[in-house]
């Protein structure tokens, strides 16, 4: 693409043209429909001469989008690299490209005549989240020229994610099992996950915690202004009046919202007013910390669901990566059930969180087990390579100093 054509081209127009070729209901779909009808009528051979048009449509649409992405990269669009890789704009809502990887990736496609940008392209079955995790490691490998070093970075990112999520899943499975036991054995009420701090500040911390922590937390809670404490930990009063529970962390927020909405309707409020009253009451009962936890869990569920959707056909995705696909699906199920338990703590939601948390934790470990075993060796190799490069650099520095000294020495 020449400089003049770059200036004249509009990436949005190119993307629109690509959509006309392979978008839903456009040329590609119409071609498929024509071939299907011809096959049913027994005249499929008549369309043989235009059969290459189907692959041309796909290839041309991809090429147009990549050319548009190159233009976007030159204009500083942070989405350019992901669009070049083959993702659609709607796919990019599932996460944000890290700034460091964004700069490297966009620079690679903006200077495509100098650097090979093929490594940026989306691999078969690769989701946006998978791509985001792969790019930093691949970029390090490309810059350093050491593929192993890039793998160390990629594996470190994957294992860091493993360490940050799997213990929480197993913890929920273990604690949830204990709470279910106490519920059925002793009739104890279920407490919403993520409300431990609220319980401690109100002097209701679990006896499984050290006594010093419980006493210190209760003291801090007593010294906190009641209004602030209620905003952070939730309203026990609303839980008692509309949820039938003594404490906010025991209340079913759906029940609280429904009862408050019904009360507003009786008082003459409109449907919209009743809904607003119910939603506001549920939020005040939850408190800031619990509501934030629910919001984060909902977001994680949505991102995970998009990731699973991008895997494509479930059967093909499972064949491609059995443990990885099970880990993704169970991760979505775990976050969804955890959200449900936060909103409505009861044996059903806790039971679902226990089961899905255990499956998610085990599947994630199985999926990453080979990386766990190989990681120490890869780190050692990367360290040896780095030491060699440092040694080479030091040698060149000494040689340069000698040459400079010789040049400056008038008696040499």
Note the pLDDT tens digit of each residue in 310-355: 888 888 888 888 888 899 999 999 999 999 999 999 999 999 999 9
Same domain, 260 and 214: yes
Beta strands of 35-150 (E only): which ranges?
none
Question: Cα separation of 197 and 202, whole Å?
Answer: 9
Question: Cα separation of 134 and 236, whole Å?
Answer: 47
Q: List the single range of 1-10, 195-204, 377-386 with lowest mean pLDDT.
A: 1-10
Same domain, 325 and 222: yes
pLDDT, average across residues 151-179: 84
pLDDT at 340: 95
pLDDT, average across residues 298-314: 87
Domain span at residue 197 reads: 165-367
Same domain, 231 and 307: yes
Q: Is residue 403 part of a domain?
A: no
Most confident of 50-59, 81-90, 354-363: 354-363
- Report the predicted TM-score, pTM, of the whole model to 2 decimal places: 0.72
Higher-scoring residue by pLDDT: 81, 300: 300
- Reported as a single tens digit per residue, the pLDDT across 351-370 is 999 999 999 999 999 988 88
CA angle 122, 126, 129 (to 5 degrees): 100
pLDDT at 164: 81
- In sequence order, the 6+-apart residues with CB closer than 8 A to the CB of 336 are 301, 356
Higher-scoring residue by pLDDT: 93, 141: 141
Mean pLDDT, the chain, whole residue set: 81
Most confident of 20-29, 103-112, 156-165, 247-256: 247-256
Question: Cα separation of 340 and 330, whole Å?
Answer: 15
DSSP 8-class letter at 89: G
Same domain, 127 and 107: yes
Same domain, 155 and 173: no
Q: Is the pLDDT of residue 406 over 60?
A: no
Same domain, 337 and 304: yes
Same domain, 173 and 150: no
Q: Is residue 278 part of a domain?
A: yes
- In sequence order, the 6+-apart residues with CB closer than 8 A to the CB of 247 are 191, 199, 202, 204, 236, 239
Q: Is residue 19 part of a domain?
A: yes
Looking at the structure of the chain, the number of domains it has is: 2
Q: Is residue 314 part of a domain?
A: yes
Higher-scoring residue by pLDDT: 45, 301: 301
Q: Is residue 374 part of a domain?
A: no
């Amino acid at each position: 693409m020449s400089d003049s054509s770059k200036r004249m081209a509009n990436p949005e127009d190119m993307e629109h043209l690509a959509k006309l070729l392979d978008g839903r209901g456009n040329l590609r779909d119409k071609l498929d429909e024509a071939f299907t009808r011809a096959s049913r009528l027994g005249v499929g051979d008549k369309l043989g001469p235009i059969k290459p048009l189907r692959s041309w449509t796909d290839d041309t649409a991809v090429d147009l989008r990549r050319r548009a992405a190159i233009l976007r990269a030159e204009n500083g669009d942070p989405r350019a690299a992901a669009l070049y890789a083959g993702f659609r704009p709607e796919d990019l809502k599932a996460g944000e490209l890290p700034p460091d990887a964004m700069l490297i990736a966009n620079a690679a496609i903006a200077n495509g005549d100098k650097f090979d940008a093929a490594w940026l392209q989306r691999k078969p079955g690769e989701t946006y989240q998978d791509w985001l995790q792969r790019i930093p490691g691949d970029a390090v490998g490309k810059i350093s020229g050491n593929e192993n070093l890039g793998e160390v970075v990629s594996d470190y990112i994957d294992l860091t994610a493993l360490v940050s999520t799997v213990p929480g899943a197993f913890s929920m499975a273990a604690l949830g099992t204990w709470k279910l036991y106490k519920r059925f054995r002793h009739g104890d009420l279920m407490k919403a996950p993520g409300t431990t701090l609220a319980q401690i500040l109100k002097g209701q911390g679990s006896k499984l915690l050290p006594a010093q922590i419980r006493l210190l937390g209760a003291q801090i809670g007593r010294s906190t202004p009641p209004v602030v404490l209620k905003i952070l930990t939730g309203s026990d009063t609303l839980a008692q009046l509309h949820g039938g529970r003594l404490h906010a962390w025991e209340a079913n927020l759906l029940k609280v919202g429904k009862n408050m909405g019904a009360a507003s309707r009786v008082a003459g409020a409109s449907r919209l007013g009743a809904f607003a009253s119910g939603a506001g009451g549920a939020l005040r009962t939850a408190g800031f910390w619990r509501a934030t936890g629910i919001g984060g869990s909902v977001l994680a569920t949505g991102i995970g669901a998009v990731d699973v959707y991008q895997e494509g056909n479930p059967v093909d995705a499972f064949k491609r990566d059995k443990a990885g696909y099970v880990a993704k699906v169970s991760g979505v199920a775990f976050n969804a059930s955890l959200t449900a338990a936060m909103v409505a703590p009861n044996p059903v939601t806790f039971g679902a969180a226990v089961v899905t948390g255990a499956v998610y934790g085990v599947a994630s470990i199985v999926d990453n087990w080979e990386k766990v075993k190989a990681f120490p060796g890869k780190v050692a190799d990367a360290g040896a390579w780095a030491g060699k490069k440092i040694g080479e650099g030091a040698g060149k520095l000494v040689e340069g100093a000698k040459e400079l000294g010789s040049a400056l020495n008038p008696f040499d």
